[in-house]
A = this chain, B = another copy of it.
Amino acid sequence: MNTKSDLGQKEQLTEKEFLKEYNAREYEAPLMTVDMAIFTIRKDKLHVLLVKRAQHPGIGKWALPGGFIDLVKDKQLVDTARRKLKEKTGIDTPYLEQVETFGSRRRDPRGWSVTVAYFALIASEDIDIASNETSEEIVWAAIEGIPKKYNLAFDHNVLFQACYDRLKAKVQYTSLPINLLPQEFTLSELQKIFEIILGSKIEKKSFRRRIIDANIIGETGNVKTGSNRPAKLYSVNAAGKSHYFPRNIEGPR
């Protein structure tokens, strides 16, 4: 078999001639997949979408949704992620962020494999699990259930943790969790979401000041009633979906 360098070194070839002779399938390449942690909030808890594997390897185990790059359908890496997200949830404009790429000889029994981990944030009301095109078994798992209740296939426990860690880190200095809420929300609802991800309480005044001073939300003019004093409703502006605050949330003194 050719080594990678044989063909390319023939300097007498033009690049065009080289490409004509080149056949990618002569070379051994690792398996290449994209996996994603799709987060949402349900019943005041952070949840992640899991899919039961219908195929070998790891058949019957829970895993993060994902799959192979479609060399025809997908133009870029992120297209694979978007396509998978659409297939499972019907959503096509989430907050989407690449986290880390994992590759090793052993992570998949089929051989050397590489996966790019993404995470997505979606508003819980946007979820339409029924619109799952693939008729696979799907579950929203509360994050504390991983890996005990849901011990994931391959190294997906690790991928999940990397995504979750990234999210928890970013709560401290970005407005990212705002993407977990529907269009209209109250400041208290927003604070609650931050607290859920952070795993601890935030001081009310500090939080409100932080958000208001950042100019990332605007009043819609509506109020949310039902629970005692009505609360003003807000919506995010464009900048607010990924705003970086000047300082971290510091936590209790």
Q: For A76, what are the chain B residues with a Cβ–Cβ distance below 8 Å?
A: 103-105
Q: For A8, what are the chain B residues with a Cβ–Cβ distance below 8 Å?
A: 54-57, 59
Cβ of A112 under 8 Å from chain B: yes
Given A8-B56, A103-B77, A116-B103, do A31 and B25 touch, yes or no (CB 8 Å)?
no
Nearest Cβ in chain B — how far from A100, in angstroms? Answer: 6
Distance between Cα atoms of A111 and B69 in the complex (Å):
13
Give which listed residue, B4, B25, B103, contacts A25 with CB less than 8 A.
Answer: B25
Distance between Cα atoms of A95 and B21 in the complex (Å):
39
Given A69-B103, A103-B77, do A110 and B19 touch, yes or no (CB 8 Å)?
yes
* Interface contact A71-B31, CB-CB below 8 Å: no
| CB contact list, A51-81 vs B, under 8 A | 54-59, 67-69, 71, 74-77
A-B contact pairs, 11 of them (CB 8 A): A8-B56, A15-B58, A24-B28, A29-B29, A29-B68, A30-B69, A32-B32, A71-B111, A75-B105, A77-B102, A98-B101
* A interface, CB within 8 angstroms of B: 4-5, 7-11, 13, 15, 18-19, 22, 24-25, 27-32, 54-59, 67-69, 71, 74-77, 98, 100-106, 109-112, 114, 116, 246-248, 250
Contacts A29-B29, A75-B106, A77-B103 aside, 6 further interface pairs with beta carbons under 8 A come to A4-B68, A7-B56, A11-B59, A24-B110, A74-B105, A103-B116
